[in-house]
Structure 1
Amino acid sequence: MSNGRKVVLVGCGAVGTSFVYSAINQGIASHYVLIDVVNDIAEGNAMDLSDSHAVLPSPFSSIKAGTYSDCADADVIVITAGRPQKPGETRLEMVADNAKIMKSIALEIKKSGFNGITVIASNPVDILTHVYQEVTGYESNRVISSGTTLDSSRLRKLLGERLNVAPRSVKAYLIGEHGDSSVAVWSRSIVMGKSILEYVEEGAITIDELQQVKDDATNMAYKIIEKKRATFYGIGACLARIVKSILNDEKSSLMVGALLKGQYGVENVYISVPCIVGAHGIEEIIEWRLSEEELQGLRKSCTQLSEVFKTAQAAIK
């Protein structure tokens, strides 16, 4: 390992640079390396980000543009490369193009001798994480999809607004695909120690309003893309949260994409479920006892992703 914690970013678009900006503001790592298919973009961003060094509360040691050889001694690699989502396009419709890009990145990283943990946010994220894991052959617990970390953050924000409670005090989750088939787990959602279903019984919120909150959280990306062509600050902060949990060995419970091996009755699908994230990556997949409706929704999401994964596999042959 390098002297101090080292993070490599692959893909210096808006999502990747938002992640690094969030990370340096929180003092997450000592060394940052930026890799992009256009080296000038990596260099320009490294210069721009380093301009903040003198005024940051938590200093870092270095930030520079680099190459895949810099991955060899990295602790964590974050991959955000890929073509962006077009207005009106679903994440799943981007699959063939981005699967090819992911395969080429995976081969370069594998060749470097990297032995750390990879966190992936390129869309469609669950599919591309699975592609990367298969191409590299890395242990699945060391390859993590950003999953529904962002979706769940949106759900907490919107539910907090409805109930006039700070988002940090809301424990509410979306599981399944990072996308249209995600499932709100109301049976496990708690605000101030009280179940959401108790709030419904008391008339503070209705089932229809909960459904609207879920729909709004799921469709938030489309609204943002329509207005400003891309989403990046929210996912950048979520990536920093995941990487911080790894580097600090926090063993925090996060909604990330993991390869299921029988959990929830599902085999060989990357999908978002509650996981303990620490120094070894995904240290445990937590199996919640879901309501029948929630479990069926999760399995339906898994079936959909399995089908799309076949498209990705065909694209990279």
Structure 2
Amino acid sequence: MKLLSIPNIQSEQDKMRRAKISIIGAGNVGATCAHWCAAAELGDIVLLDIPQTEDMPAGKALDLMQASPIMGFDSNIVGTTSYDDTADSDVVVVTAGIPRKPGMSRDDLLGTNAKIITSVAGQIKESSPNAVVIVVSNPLDAMVQQMWKVTGFDSARVCGQAGVLDTARYRAFLAMELGVSVEDISALLMGGHGDTMVPMPSCTSVGGIPVTQLIEEKRLEEIVDRTRKGGAEIVSLLKTGSAYYAPAAACAQMAEAVVKDKKRVIPVAALCDSEYSVGGYYVGVPVVMGSGGVEKIIELQLTEKETAAFQHSVSAVKDLVAAMDQLLSS
């Protein structure tokens, strides 16, 4: 029996490599992000955790690889505890840090996670100096500020995942309220990731119909309040952890915007200086996201009420960053 020879295609593979997505933190959010990214065939994936986790990242990566014949994706997935395996990543998603537990606010994580992010940022700077970095760790707005400060990357290449998640929760609750498809709901939330996030009713519609024509103001505010507390609601239900399906899906959407140069108009935590008169802090705003990361910040004409709420949210972010800086310097 004569075996067929397979032509050498290595040279073509060298020219046409897949995007490389590294995920720092192989816990629930990180592993689920790897799952979403692999299923969408966004690129090859490296799932990294600290050395103390030993073979855990490799086990999760192998499990995902064994799902590939069933689900029909060809992404290569590697689990590791070495940053050497993440070298020259196109996108780095950072989920590292301790999660919230019942009774904890995002701000309660500040001191511990700031030190973790400082260490991770230094490693990313060395291993993937050209990557777009998407930070997920809480408290989000302070953590992405610290990532940018330590890496020294162009601010366009460092952003935070919060707005996509918050808006998704808002859209889900609106769809549940109205009994309509989530696909027909377009919405926007701005500001910090937490209790001061700012709803934008003027930018919320259902099949093109302003939401204010479908839901009374009082009920709409109740839905917004549930959105603000969306993460805490899940923490209280899980009892031993925090949300991960939706946060991971939001990360994957942002990674897709980068590796496919989608030019998506989505809300993310981006560095705003003169924009919205923020003065050099990361806050949630609508942006155009593509291969360069945050390629444009979209400035909206806010109402007087929206402006006041946004400024209040920015003040909370500034206080959080100041508290972080004090903890890191002590």
Match of 2:105 in 1: 90
Residue 50 (structure 1) shift: 1.4
Question: Is the Cα–Cα contact under 8 Å of residues 129 and 145 in structure 1 kept in the other structure?
Answer: yes
| Structure 2 residue 231 is matched with structure 1 residue 221 | yes
- Unaligned stretches of 5+ residues in structure 1: none
The residue correspondences of 1:104-143 to structure 2 (distance < 5 A) are: 104-143=119-158
Match of 1:209 in 2: 219
Q: How big is the alpha-carbon RMSD for the aligned residues of Structure 1 and Structure 2?
A: 1.5
Per-residue deviation, residues 19-59 of structure 1 (Å, max 9, x unmatched): 11111111111x11111012322112112211212112332
Match of 1:7 in 2: 21
Residue 66 (structure 1) shift: 4.9
Residue 164 (structure 1) shift: 2.1
Per-residue deviation, residues 250-304 of structure 1 (Å, max 9, x unmatched): 0011111000011112111101110100000000000111111111111111111
Instruction: Report the structure number with the largest CA radius of gyration.
Output: 2
Question: Is the Cα–Cα contact under 8 Å of residues 266 and 289 in structure 2 kept in the other structure?
Answer: yes
Match of 1:26 in 2: 40
Match of 2:71 in 1: 56
* Pairing partner for 1:36 from 49, 71, 89: 49
Cα distance in 2 between the residues matched to 1:271 and 1:255: 10
- Unaligned stretches of 5+ residues in structure 2: 1-13
Equivalenced residues, count: 311
What letter matches 2:179 in structure 1? N
Question: Is the Cα–Cα contact under 8 Å of residues 64 and 77 in structure 2 kept in the other structure?
Answer: no
Q: What SS does the aligned partner of 2:247 have?
A: helix
Cα distance in 2 between the residues matched to 1:55 and 1:226: 34
What letter matches 2:70 in structure 1? V
Cα distance in 2 between the residues matched to 1:311 and 1:135: 17
Residue 307 (structure 1) shift: 1.0
Normalised by the length of structure 2, the TM-score is: 0.91
Match of 2:89 in 1: 74
Cα distance in 2 between the residues matched to 1:61 and 1:93: 37
Normalised by the length of structure 1, the TM-score is: 0.94
Residues 170 and 301 (structure 1), Cα distance of their counterparts in 2 relative to 1, 3 Å cut: same
Task: Among all aligned residue pairs of Structure 1 and Structure 2, give the percentage whose two residues are the same amino acid.
Answer: 30
Question: Is the Cα–Cα contact under 8 Å of residues 260 and 291 in structure 2 kept in the other structure?
Answer: yes
Question: Is the Cα–Cα contact under 8 Å of residues 118 and 143 in structure 1 kept in the other structure?
Answer: yes
Residue 144 (structure 1) shift: 1.1
Residue 113 (structure 1) shift: 4.7
Q: What SS does the aligned partner of 1:3 have?
A: coil
| Structure 2 residue 114 is matched with structure 1 residue 99 | yes
